[in-house]
Amino acid sequence: METIRSETWINAPVERCFLLSLSIDLHVASARSSREQAIEGVTTGLISEGETVTFRGRHFCLSLRHKSRIEVMRPYSYFRDVMVAGVFSHFEHDHHFATMDEGTRMRDEIRFIPPLGALGRVATKTLVRRHVAAFLMERNRGMKQVAESEDWHRYLDGQSVTVALAPAKEGWEPSSLMPRSQS
């Protein structure tokens, strides 16, 4: 399995960066070089946990489709998207967010298994790894630019995201979230 890691520091609040990462419209806008389009599932606005999106774009001079599902979401610190259908044998992308120095550290980790067995492994060493890393950097540059400007309003104003909450553990009391009174 191949792994690509990236860190981007963004001079914007963590909540904004997290939500922008869920924006289908921003993904499409920041992936101009591959002419990405969202063609199925959630095709505009913010994607939520359990939802899918299918992108079609030009990669290696081919029109390729990539269908992802948001598998896990922990606002405003983490989410994972996994490939449901596409060219890779396996593809998952972990998105981590942390408040740092009055801004946000966005950390990406992509893990994938190339298609086509041994031929795919050779192509990965020479082309695929570099292409996936460049695509991630292009997307992150676009997101950073939007998050640090007033353009973020175009993608987030009027948008909402659905968060699936896990059931409470047995014995959990809501009062445990309240400060104890000083008596």
Q: Quick one: pLDDT at residue 174?
A: 44
Q: Quick one: pLDDT at residue 183?
A: 44
Residues pairing with 57 in the sheet: 64
Choose among 183, 164, 23, 17: nearest CA to 99: 17
Angle at 110 between CA 131 and CA 114, to 5 degrees: 60
95 vs 113: CA distance, rounded Å: 18
- What is the pLDDT confidence band of residue 123, given thresholds at 50, 70 and 90? low
Structure tokens at 26: 């921003």
- What is the pLDDT confidence band of residue 60, given thresholds at 50, 70 and 90? low
Q: Quick one: pLDDT at residue 120?
A: 63
DSSP state of 176: G
Q: Quick one: pLDDT at residue 20?
A: 97
CATH of domain 2-161: 3.30.530.20
Top pLDDT among 169 and 139 is at 139
- What is the pLDDT confidence band of residue 63, given thresholds at 50, 70 and 90? confident
- What is the pLDDT confidence band of residue 171, given thresholds at 50, 70 and 90? low
- What is the pLDDT confidence band of residue 179, given thresholds at 50, 70 and 90? very low
Which amino acid does the sequence have at 141? R
Do residues 128 and 116 make contact, with C-beta atoms less than 8 angstroms apart?
A: no
87 vs 172: CA distance, rounded Å: 44
Structure tokens at 176: 């445990």
30 vs 145: CA distance, rounded Å: 10
Least confident of 11-15, 41-45, 172-176: 172-176
21-48 mean pLDDT: 93
Would you list the domain boundaries of the chain?
2-161
3-18 mean pLDDT: 96
Please state, in angstroms and as integers, the Cα–Cα distance from residue 111 to each residue in 65, 89, 95, following that order. Answer: 18, 11, 12
- For the segment 70-116, what is each residue's pLDDT rounded down to a tens digit? 999 999 999 999 999 998 889 999 999 999 988 999 999 999 988 77
Whether 49 has a pLDDT exceeding 80, the answer reads: yes
- Length of the chain in residues, anyone? 183
